Amino acid sequence: MDLINPTVVDLSRFQFALTALYHFMFVPLTLGLTFMLAAMETVYVVTGKQVYKDMTLFWGKLFGINFALGVATGLTMEFEFGTNWSMYSRFFGDMFGTPLAIEGLMAFFMESTFIGLMFFGWDRLSKPGHLAVTYLVALGSNLSALWILVANASMNMPNGAHFDPETLRMTFDSFVGVVFNPDAQAKFVHTSVAGYVAASLFVMGISAFYLLRKQHRDFAARSFRMAALFGIFSTVAVITLGDVLGRLDYEHQPTKIAAMEGLWHTSKPPYEPWIIAALPNDAKQESSFEIGVPFVLTPLITHSFSMPITGMIELEDAAAPRIASGITAVSALRRYEENHQAADLEEFRAHQDDMGYGLLASRHAPGQDVTAIAPEQLQSVIEQTKPDILPNVFVTFWSFRLMVFLGVFFFVLFAMASYLSLKNQLERNPLFLKLCMWSIPLPVLATEFGWITAEAGRQPWTVFDRLPTFMSASTHSVSYMLFSLAGFTVLYSIFIAVELYLMFKFARLGPEAHGPHEDADPAHLSVVAH
């Protein structure tokens, strides 16, 4: 069997990464801003103060711009699985398609229906009725994320499915197993709450801009206060769930956690340092420069002081028997496909857990066919396949580091913002307000780095331990891939430009008064300038 052109696989990966990274510039703000709007409107309904309605309307307008462009960039990705990843879709479609269908039919329709009511229902619904609609929009947008992340988690930790040798596909076993997959749970909460952080800093940054310019001060100080408190608790939750995900990777994806930590050799507990900075060299399998904090890595990853973390070189060695067993599994499966002999099926079943490693070895087999491997060639094929089990260490290591550094920065920033806001000392600290303003894009960057960590760290698999990435793409031509890649790059860059133009325009215009409100009274400004 001829494998797919590696250039096409690389271009398919690059195109998916590009479209996903573009799409994810919009998603976090949608996830977080909806719940922040709900918080603002809750105060409006409880207190009846017009300023909170103004806040909901103004931030809601910015949310609307972001939502429209986010939907436009997300739609193409659902089709991309079929067009560019048809082998993957065939192998894993039963598993992957179910959450995607639910996302489209339930969450997205719910979100889109109620968003109309949220924008146009202010004069048509009662106050509690409109508040309920705002909460439903927030729930809908986060449920959309839930189903996408359930689908993604099934690629990282395939739960609730098994491989069927009759159909050569993964078959769906348990809906509960898929939905309550531990990876899905942790990933959903981590991603959703990362969106809260992005929304908090977005609101805080624009409010800081108004405070610096002495514009809309009452509106801005209130928005800043709510965003700062929203942000500090969200940041704590993001860090907590990041720790949970790290622990899950330690248990289920040891190659990813070893790459994230730049750990070439098995750790020596409890001394092993947590590496702050290093230059991992994938070719030489070593890091040329390391700065670390001792005694941190073991408790951080294993939640103990004695458990070791297996290094990448040891993981490579440990993969050798699985590669040999996988070659046996794939060979038995091929024979069973042709002859349907019970003995072949039995042999396959004895080795089926390692089938993915046999598929991984096919790249190095004569004629790319593992059944053609002669006994004297077996060891050579295994040795060539071993390094393939590792992801790109440099990318995984640094994307993880950048996400973590930004997470720590957000914690400090929100803690200071909450303190200064509660003490009403914001306007005495213009430098801090400027820092908040310039930090607006950072949470989006952090979520992008998080996504790169998760997806680059999963390599060389599309479905972890089951299906290698190089066997998952469609058999397109290189020119087709280059053309569609260029098209997406241009189109999505236009979307980003439109988003930035509209956001800057409406943020500069500022909140419009949607009716008389008592904050025209200068007394209320005293608490800002106090």
Partner 1 sequence: MITLLRFAGLGLALVVALLFAVFVGDQGPWYFAWVVGTVMIILVAAAGGVLFDAQAEEAVSKGEF
Chain contacts with partner 1 (rule: CB under 8 A): 35-36, 38-40, 42-43, 46-47, 49, 52, 176, 179-180, 182, 185-186, 188-189, 192-193, 196, 221-222, 225-230, 233-234, 237, 241, 244, 421-422, 424, 522-527, 529-530
Q: Which of 220, 226, 228 is nearest to 510 (CA)?
A: 220
Cβ distance to partner 1 smaller for residue 193 or 201: 193
Give CA–CA dist 458/255, Å, rounded.
8
Q: In 460-497, which positions are buried (b, 16+ CB within 10 angstroms) versus exposed (e)? A: bbbbbbbbbbbbbbbebeeeebeebbeebeeebeebee
Which residues neighbour 269 within 8 Å (Cβ) at sequence distance 6 or greater?
A: 298, 302, 304, 305, 306, 307, 308
Q: How far is the CB of 248 from partner 1 (least distance, A)?
A: 10
Give CA–CA dist 332/168, Å, rounded.
13
Cβ distance to partner 1 smaller for residue 174 or 339: 174
Cβ distance to partner 1 smaller for residue 202 or 357: 202
- What residue type is 17 in one-letter code? A
Q: How far is the CB of 392 from partner 1 (least distance, A)?
A: 29
Q: How far is the CB of 239 from partner 1 (least distance, A)?
A: 13
Cβ distance to partner 1 smaller for residue 46 or 168: 46
Cβ distance to partner 1 smaller for residue 4 or 525: 525
Q: How far is the CB of 8 from partner 1 (least distance, A)?
A: 38
Which residues neighbour 496 within 8 Å (Cβ) at sequence distance 6 or greater?
A: 22, 25
Cβ distance to partner 1 smaller for residue 126 or 526: 526
CB 232 within 8 A of CB 415: yes
Cβ distance to partner 1 smaller for residue 244 or 491: 244
Instruction: Dihedral sign for Cα 89, 91, 92, 97, please.
Output: positive
Cβ distance to partner 1 smaller for residue 346 or 521: 521
Q: How far is the CB of 176 from partner 1 (least distance, A)?
A: 7
Give CA–CA dist 286/477, Å, rounded.
36
Q: How far is the CB of 111 from partner 1 (least distance, A)?
A: 16
Q: How far is the CB of 457 from partner 1 (least distance, A)?
A: 20
Q: How far is the CB of 232 from partner 1 (least distance, A)?
A: 9
CB 44 within 8 A of CB 53: yes
Q: Which of 365, 329, 477, 479 is nearest to 4 (CA)?
A: 477
CB 275 within 8 A of CB 393: no
Q: What angle do CA 47, 53, 55 make, to 5 degrees?
A: 115
Give CA–CA dist 270/159, Å, rounded.
32
Q: How far is CA 427 from the centre of its chain?
A: 36
Q: How far is the CB of 402 from partner 1 (least distance, A)?
A: 25
Q: How far is the CB of 43 from partner 1 (least distance, A)?
A: 4
Cβ distance to partner 1 smaller for residue 357 or 410: 410
Q: Which of 445, 530, 18 is nearest to 202 (CA)?
A: 445
Cβ distance to partner 1 smaller for residue 344 or 519: 519
Element (DSSP H or E) covering residue 74: helix 50-84
Q: Which of 69, 60, 72, 168 is nearest to 114 (CA)?
A: 60
CB 391 within 8 A of CB 456: yes
In this structure, what are the phi and psi dihedrals at residue 467, rounded to the nearest 5 degrees?
Answer: -130, 115
Q: How far is the CB of 505 from partner 1 (least distance, A)?
A: 27
Q: Which two tokens stand for residue 318?
A: 């440990």
Cβ distance to partner 1 smaller for residue 238 or 395: 238
CB 390 within 8 A of CB 255: yes
Given phi > 0 = left and psi -120 to 50 = alpha, else beta, which region is 49?
beta
Cβ distance to partner 1 smaller for residue 424 or 429: 424
Which residues neighbour 259 within 8 Å (Cβ) at sequence distance 6 or greater?
A: 312, 390, 391, 392, 393, 396, 397, 457
Q: How far is the CB of 226 from partner 1 (least distance, A)?
A: 4
Q: How far is the CB of 24 from partner 1 (least distance, A)?
A: 19
Cβ distance to partner 1 smaller for residue 68 or 416: 416
